[in-house]
Amino acid sequence: MRVVLLGTAAGGGFPQWNCACELCTAARDGELPSRTQECAAVTGNGRDWWLLNASPDLRAQLTATPALRPGPGPRDTPLRGVLLTDAEADHVTGLAELRGAAGLKIYAAPPVRAVLAPARAALDRYAPWEWADSLADGGFVLAGGLVVTAHPVGAKIPKYVPAQVPPPAGPWVTAYRVEDLASGGVLVYAPCVASWSEELDELCSEADCVLLDGTFCTADEMRGAVRSGAGQAAMGHLPVTGPDGSLAALARHRGARRVYTHLNNTNPLLDPASPARARAAEEGVEVLPDGAELVL
């Protein structure tokens, strides 16, 4: 299985267009690597590729990735579809970039499918796509020899969902376990994790690679940024540090390659020279640049 990290920043990207914080300024000045919004691509056979989320930066991400070049026919593409982990704007708006591509298959949990129904109706007018339940019993098999199961990891409802009407019920945020039947390699993809569950822990214990929510380093790092920090806890991302943080949890899974993604522009992990980055490296947890490829 090959996994390409198309983008590794949280919503807004890095630098964020309207942010003048120290980290964003350093990225703008070319002192830190810029990052596009979180999204990945995976294949079992090198011919059939599947997106993990669809970021607003998708067009640039696809055109920068040689493996995803179209051809040989004028509208042939190795892209077969998209697996959504949630309905957040930074994970679904890239679907609009794919409009008109024939025959894509989109997997999502029931509340995500429900809230995207109007977008789906609009996209279907460009080219009909097949939408499937990511949580269907027994999981699903993707072209290219990948077997996938989805696992609930959070309940955060996106801000754009109106609060007045009862929201669709069910798990809003999921992780994916992707297994390559040929190599036996197992990827756990979890860019949005509200809290560490036993189920997630079990998934990680059997994984060869974990691509994990690294949005925030600390529980209060939004404080001091332009927005007030009050809402950070409600954003559905467990921080890296602290007794209940992800780094402590990942320390139990040294058998897997562990990589942080979905990094917010406030996160000191963005700076390779930061103490935070040194701490993660000490634990063997990686932060990789956009475009990095993993083989498992």
CB of 263 to Mn ion, least distance (A): 10
For ligand MLT, the closer of residues 111 and 236 by Cβ is 236
Identify the residue whose tokens are 């040194």. Answer: 278
Per-residue 3-state assignment (H helix, E strand, C coil) for 14-71: ECCCCCCCHHHHHHHCCCCCCECECEEEEECCCCCEEEECCCCCHHHHHHCCHHHCCC
Among 6, 19, 32, 287, binds Zn ion (CB under 5 A): 19
For ligand MLT, the closer of residues 227 and 254 by Cβ is 227
Q: Does 89 bind ligand MLT (CB under 6 A)?
A: yes
Q: Does 159 bind ligand MLT (CB under 6 A)?
A: yes
- Count of residues near ligand MLT by CB under 6 A: 10
Q: Does 54 bind ligand MLT (CB under 6 A)?
A: no
What CA dihedral angle connects 225, 228, 230 and 232, to 10 degrees?
-40
| Residue window 23-52: x/- pattern of binding to Zn ion, with contact defined by CB under 5 A | -x----------------------------
**Residues 205-224, interacting with Mn ion (CB under 5 A):** none
How far apart (Å, rounded) are the C-alpha atoms in residues 260 and 287? 5
Output the six-digit token pair for 138.
């027994």
Q: What share of the chain is helix, strand, coil (3-state, %, to 5)?
A: 25, 25, 50
Q: Does 265 bind Zn ion (CB under 5 A)?
A: yes
CB of 24 to Zn ion, least distance (A): 3
With CB cut-offs between 5 and 8 Å by kind, which of Mn ion, Zn ion, ligand MLT, none does residue 265 bind?
A: Zn ion
Residue 172, Cβ neighbours under 10 Å: how many? 27
Q: Does 11 bind ligand MLT (CB under 6 A)?
A: yes
| Residue window 175-194: x/- pattern of binding to ligand MLT, with contact defined by CB under 6 A | -----------------x--
Q: Does 90 bind Mn ion (CB under 5 A)?
A: yes
Q: Could you tell me the end-to-end alpha-carbon distance of the chain, in angstroms, rounded to an integer?
A: 5
Stretch that binds Mn ion, among 8-16, 69-77, 147-155, 280-288 (CB under 5 A): 8-16
Handedness of CA 147, 150, 153, 158 (dihedral sign): positive
**Residues 12-51, interacting with ligand MLT (CB under 6 A):** none
Stretch that binds Mn ion, among 80-88, 100-108, 131-139, 198-206 (CB under 5 A): 80-88
3-class secondary structure, 244: coil
Nearest CA to 183 among 134, 145, 222? 145
Bridge partners of 283?
Answer: none
Residue 140 and residue 148 in contact, taking contact as beta carbons nearer than 8 Å: yes
Residue 261 and residue 215 in contact, taking contact as beta carbons nearer than 8 Å: no
For ligand MLT, the closer of residues 74 and 160 by Cβ is 160
Q: What's the DSSP call for residue 150? A: E
Stretch that binds Zn ion, among 76-84, 125-133, 169-177, 259-267 (CB under 5 A): 259-267
Chain contacts with Zn ion (rule: CB under 5 A): 19, 21, 24, 265
Chain contacts with Mn ion (rule: CB under 5 A): 10-11, 88, 90
Chain contacts with ligand MLT (rule: CB under 6 A): 10-11, 88-90, 159, 192, 235-237
